[in-house]
Amino acid sequence: MTFSEYMILASSFGLGAGGGWVVSRWGDFWGLTDIPNERSSHSRPTPKGGGIGILAAFLICSISFSIPISFWIPAAFISLLSLWGDHSEIRPQIRLLFQFTTGTILLIGILIGNGNAIVTYTLIPLLAVFVVGTANYYNFMDGINGIAAITGLVGFGLLGWFAVIEAADPHLIALCLCMSLSCLGFLPFNVHNAIVFMGDVGSVLLGFVFAGLVVWVSRSFLDFVCGTSFLFPFYADELTTLFVRIKDGDRLITPHRSHLYQILTNEYGIIHWKVSLGYGAFQLIVGVSILLLKDTGCMTILSMLALYFCVFIVLSYFLRRKVKSQIQI
C-alpha cells in the first residue's frame, strides 16, 4: 500500500470520531434525538445518528480504493434511508422493500465481479435474506452503549484478517480495515456514559456491508461459514431471543427488550460497557479459534460453532430462568 492509501485508512478513524462529535453537538437541533421508552436501556434523551461518520468513511474508502459501484451505492442508499428513519418513522414494509432491492443489486454485482457460474445466481434469494437479516440483526442488537462499535471493530478486523489469509482482493481488505477503524473512532463517544448513539444510519450500514463482504470473500461454503462466525454473538443472541419470543407467544413485530444483552443490563444491572466488552471478547475468542481451525475442514468448524452456540443457549437459559423466577416471587 502507498502512503496515500495508509492516510485514507487513517482518515477512517477520524471520520468515525468526527461523526460522533458532530451529532453529539447538533443532533438535537437536526431532530435526531432518541427519547427513552419502555424498551430502552437508557434513561435520558440522547442524540442519535452518529454513524454518519462511519458512512462517510465507507464512502471515501470505497471511492478511493475503487470498490465496485454496485457494492457501495446500494449500501450508501440503505444507510441514508436509515438516517431518514432516525429522523422520521418509516414503515417496516417500506424498509424491507428497499433493503431487499438494494441487497439484490449488491449481490448481483458481487457474483458478476467474482465470475461465478450461472447456477450460483439461484442462491441470490437466500443470500438476500442473509444480507437483509444481518443488517436488521445488527440494528436490533444496537441497544446499549458500545456494543455496535465494539462488534464492528472486532468483526471487520477478523474479516480483514481472514481476507488476508485467503489472498483476497486488496481493496476488500482495505474496506474491512476502514470499517473497523471508523468504529474505533466512534467508540469513545458511545462506550461509557454515551453522549451520542450510532443510530440506524450506522448499525444498518455495518450489518449490510459486513454481510456483503462475507459473500464477496467467500469462495466456498466453508469460507461463508467462517465469515459469518465473526459476528457470532449477534447471530446467537438474535436467534435465541427469536426462539424464546415464539415459545412465549409474543408478537414478533412488537418492540421488546428480550435480548440477553438487554437482560444483563436492565435486569441484572451490569454496566453497559462491561456487557459490550464481554460480547466483544466472546466474539474475538470465537473468531480467532475459527481462523486457527479453518484448515481442519468444514465439519470441525461447524462442530465448534455448534459447541459455542450450545454454551450460549445454556447461559441464556439459566440467566433468563433466574429473572423469571424473581418476577414470580
- Mean pLDDT over 1-28 rounds to 89
DSSP 65: T
> Which pLDDT does position 75 carry in this prediction?
97
> What pLDDT is recorded for position 248?
80
Provide the pLDDT for residue 39: 65
Pair 131, 107: CB distance under 8 Å: yes
Cα separation values, 188 from 33, 43, 149, Å: 19, 19, 10
Q: Whose CA is closest to 23, among 202, 205, 271, 145?
A: 202
Q: Provide the residue range defining the domain that includes 188.
A: 3-328
**Greater model confidence, 37 or 217:** 217
Q: Report whether pLDDT(42) > 80.
A: no
128-153 average pLDDT score: 95
pLDDT digits 0-9 by tens, 258-269:
899 999 998 899
148 pLDDT more than 70: yes
Reported as a single tens digit per residue, the pLDDT across 96-107 is: 999 999 999 999
The span from the CA of 133 to the CA of 121, in Å, is 19
pLDDT at position 329? 46
pTM score, two decimals?
0.93
Strands of the chain, DSSP E: 33-34, 46-47
Q: With beta carbons less than 8 A apart as the criterion, state whether 48 and 39 touch.
A: no
| Grid cell in block for residue 175 | 474496506
Give the other-Cβ count within 10 Å of 255's Cβ: 9
Total number of domains constituting the chain: 1
Dig out the grid coordinates for 97 from the structure: 422493500
